Structure 1
């Protein structure tokens, strides 16, 4: 794998969780609030990593819960910077459920979060432009 030069900020973060009973509702599926918390965390990490700044959530756009996520499934949360403004970053976040026994993976939830970079005084500050062409692996 070719290393990515340090001048190109990383645009993606991946996290993995396992769904335990305390994460679920009475149907044994992931609470929507827990899903949103994991998604917001991934958006935060992606934006902070990309900008190398303190970031806060400004907005969560439409979040689509397509399929339920069940107890015992692994959830991969992928946050990816898809748009950059002066101080804002739009992060697309996906929750992908994986059955650890069969390896079957399904996209279950997708949403967008707008994160704002802050300076040391807590004011919005500029972030790097999104590169037009990011080299692949």
Structure 2
């Protein structure tokens, strides 16, 4: 099996795993919303950086919905996918899924969108590679 040259490798998805420890939780033992947002932003940054192969910054977070609590001791999987690419912007959809390590039960808990901007070495917006056309 041959792989694409390293310089051509541009994944459209990133997955991060985190354990929810006590210092990540509020007085109810559930994950702080700000911690979830930080993990989501990090995943969006990683997938956008790997796609653009240049410096990227967060321009906006949009429509973040917290639908289920995430508890201390849960495993959290953060999945970020490039959904759309403009000239310099990349829209990234991010999902946060919790997993109970003892039962294996998984639930989609949080979903949001982030807009990341590709920057040139002088910090100005620069072109991001377009997504391949889909059939």
Q: In which range does the TM-score fall when normalised by the shorter chain? A: over 0.9
1:82-121 matches, cutoff 5 A: 82-121=83-122
| Cα shift at 1:3 | 6.3
Q: Corresponding residue for 1:80?
A: 81
Q: Corresponding residue for 1:26?
A: 27
Structure 2 portions without partners, runs of 5+: none
Give the alignment's TM-score, normalised by structure 2. Answer: 0.94
Q: Corresponding residue for 2:42?
A: 41
Q: Distance in 2 between matches of 1:57 and 1:28?
A: 29
Contact 1:8–1:131 (CA<8 Å) still a contact in 2? Answer: no
Q: Corresponding residue for 1:54?
A: 55
Q: Distance in 1 between matches of 2:122 and 2:94?
A: 28
**Counterpart of 2:87 in 1: which secondary structure?**
coil
Structure 1 portions without partners, runs of 5+: none
Flag the 1:112–1:4 CA change in 2: closer, same or farther, 3 A: farther
Q: Corresponding residue for 1:67?
A: 68
| Cα shift at 1:9 | 2.0
